Amino acid sequence: MPREAEPSLSEKQFVLQALQENLRLDGREFDQYRPLELTFGDQYGVADVTLGKTRVLAKASAEVTVPYADRPLDGIFTIATELSPMTAPSFEVNRPTETEVLLSRLLEKTIRRSGALDTESLCLVAGQKCWSVRVDVHVLSHGGNLIDAACLAVVASLRHFRKPDTSIEGGVLTVYTPAEREPVPLSWLHSPFCVTWSFFGEEGEIAVLDATWLEEQVRVASCTISLNRHGEICQIAKLGGTPVEAVALLQCTSVALTKAKEFSALVDRKLAEDLKRRDKGGLMAELKAENDR
């Protein structure tokens, strides 16, 4: 496995020197994100997030399985994160690096453990049949701040996803194809978003949002705050690194709330646009022979 490419000494020094002078290499403000783009695929549940040079693709899928024996009334919801060598040559298949483990843990805590998806609604026949919803996260390009981009992609893909409609008649479960019945959206309770702060300087006095890959390699600590637009915090992860003042962290949280509101508005807007694009509407829709049932 090739080792991760280290930045040179002058790059490391320069990033810090610039931050001391309130400057960033790409000319952003400290609390500014890189241009964020969200696109949906033709299929339901495919979301592609581009954040500067970082690109993450999330794909949601669902299948009917047997629920876990200890949770007969719950469906199954999993998030699979994979960093392939395509992301960077230092990542290897089947050998998770620290980045990958942290990414999947944080996504798990943010989206699954916060109850964003109502797993009870995935149950079809208690103890026998349930939906298993799975989101695959593919990191296509690593330009720093994977966590925020991946979290946004997963949330967007799940909100875009439609699972096939089902019915139970006389103990017989029928799963309808999209042609027979319009697929139904998941029962989604709230949309949590991750906002990652990076800290620089000897005492972590400089706090920066959305660090690039170079900045991530130089930072002394990082803190990921997950919250939804109502300001409900799902988790705060500050794993090691230099200690940071509690007051500074409080300030970070309040900025994170405004960012979470922005993300939420972006996802809502893009979903509405996508719905409009899919909705052919007009005379042709009314003249169609088949109806929506």
Residues of this chain that interact with another protein (CB under 8 A) are 2, 5-15, 17-18, 21, 23, 25-27, 89-90
Give the residue with the Cβ less far from another protein, 15 or 51. 15
Provide, rounded to whole angstroms, the least separation between the CB of residue 61 and another protein: 33
Provide, rounded to whole angstroms, the least separation between the CB of residue 5 and another protein: 3
Provide, rounded to whole angstroms, the least separation between the CB of residue 95 and another protein: 17
Give the residue with the Cβ less far from another protein, 23 or 236. 23
Provide, rounded to whole angstroms, the least separation between the CB of residue 53 and another protein: 10
Give the residue with the Cβ less far from another protein, 215 or 274. 215
Provide, rounded to whole angstroms, the least separation between the CB of residue 21 and another protein: 5
From residue 195, alpha-carbon distances to 6, 100, 209 in Å are 25, 17, 8
Give the residue with the Cβ less far from another protein, 12 or 129. 12
Give the residue with the Cβ less far from another protein, 9 or 250. 9
